[in-house]
Chains A and B, each alone.
Chain A
Amino acid sequence: MSAAITVDGLGVSFGARTALEDVTFAVPAGAFVGVLGPNGAGKTTLLRALLGDVAHSGRLDVERPVAYVPQLSHTQDAFPIDALGVVLMGTYPRLGWWRRPSRTDREGARALLDRVGLADRARTPFDELSGGQRQRVLLARALAQQGRVMLLDEPLSGADARSRELVLDVIAEQCRRGGTVLMTTHDLAEAARVCDRMLVLNRALVAEGSTEDIFTEDVLRRAYGGDVLVLDGRPALIDDPHHHDRSPERLPWSG
């Protein structure tokens, strides 16, 4: 299968701080890849580099267009917009400067809201939706971008169970259709359950491969340092205090 993403010797620095260095990997088309690593490991920076959003060294080859689901915290709550309006924003790059979304675009956007389980919320103001619902609206917006490659930044954090399942369903469908998905996450258990492949980062690429290759004590220790416990011969990640509020599920292999 041909590679949808090829990264060769990628390096990103912000001033004197090195965010990523010498990262090399390739992702085949149709794969669902989990991007793991501790806080500050460069997960979001990797996505931004793939978007062409930050200055970098090395070679990047990404199948375009690229759709993107950013972390929730970036949207302006003061901005009055409903769910349908947010999804329609995904069509803007295709429309060009002066054209407005057409009736077909609107129908398409409604269908995408239906796909993420929010058909009845099209006219609900974005700031009145729950965290999980907002995340699904942003996912629908990314689908409206019709990208061959989709990048998702922590789409499962703060999401309720129904939102998580819906997000993962949509991703699986996207991959079945030949789309390629990269998702950053703190949730090792979820990633192990749903992703085909993993990338483990800690400013550099610690490991890359299938779930079995990645979930070894050695790899996790190199990425997460002393935060890894070995229980009954299985590695487990000790909860990161910064993410207590995000996900209750932490010890994936302790049973």
Chain B
Amino acid sequence: MEWLTDPWTSEIMRRAFAEAIVMGAVAGALGCFVLVRGLGFLGESVAHTLILGVVIAFLLGGPVALGAVGAAAGTVALSSLLAADRRFSVDVSMGVLLPSCFGLGVTLIALTDGYRARLEDTLFGAILGVTDLDLALAAAVALVAAATLLLAGKELALVSFDRPMAQAMGYRVGLLDLLLFALVTLAAVVALRAVGNVLLTAMLLGPALSARLLTRTWWPMVATAAALGTLAGVLGLYWSWSSAVGGGAAIVLVVATMFVLVAAGRAAVAVTRVAR
């Protein structure tokens, strides 16, 4: 049983586990909204715009996590400003912001000698290097997400299922959308630290996709996705501990493996039913 307890003896790994558990739950749960609303592109865009905030924070000598939060807030504000114009959808406004922020971020990296070494951390995550601030941020985001889902979860679900109906019922759907985008963006900030920019979308969509195949109703799907995200975080870290695979990559590979197993299981059940 040593393999089970071994990683927990290391302070670095204990922090990494804490980060992975919280990040897995938050990204898993909020990823369900991303999946059913078809907002995969939003996650991807947020990931890319965050780079700019991270680089600016590094240049100013501030905490990288706060830079990411600042960039996230800017992204949400700018995209909703653009989307307020009926001619632009959220996707289109994100499509404008994404290359602009990413391009500016990469340009700044090129101009900053000291940053290049940390570029890999930003792209693929550095879960073994999480700081107290990162953990506090992850916990705060988890609390905000939980409180929001408790307070306005059913309204967010209604908007996700039947937007015109929510509007007809008198809900301010634009504000609910903004709330959802803000939550997804915060989840992306947390996941950025753990699995990095490139793998972030997989963390948002993977557990949600598996959960969709396993459940028939909304809240069980959200709970299942949160559980799968957490499980993937923990299993990924065990794998990373016992091999040379990086933490972020290991977690995302576990997410992908889960999906393949769930999909294969569903297919097998379907085939068995037909065979009978």
Contact = CB atoms under 8 A, between A and B. Distances in A.
A75 B161 CA distance: 6
Contact of B38 (A78, A92, A97): A78
Given A52-B170, A70-B165, A98-B150, A89 B212 contact: no
B36 A78 contact: yes
B162 interface: yes
Contact of A93 (B151, B160, B170, B217): B170
10 contacts: A53-B167, A70-B162, A74-B165, A76-B161, A79-B36, A80-B217, A92-B158, A93-B169, A100-B154, A125-B217
Contacts of A80: 36, 212, 215-218, 221
- Interface size of A as a range: 20 to 34
Contact of A85 (B37, B160, B217): B217
Nearest to B165: A70
Interface string A108-145: 00000000000000010100000000000000010001
Contact of A76 (B160, B167, B171, B215): B160
Contacts of B165: 68, 70, 74, 89, 141
Contacts of A123: 216
Contacts of B35: 78
Nearest to A142: B165
Select the residue from B150, B152, B169, B218 with max chain A CB neighbours within 10 A: B169
Interface in A82-98: 82, 85-86, 89, 92-93, 95, 97-98
A168 interface: no
Contact of B218 (A68, A79, A100): A79
Contacts of A62: none
A125 B216 contact: yes
A52 to B, nearest CB: 7
Interface string B91-113: 00000000000000000000000
Given A92-B154, A92-B158, A97-B151, A76 B164 contact: no
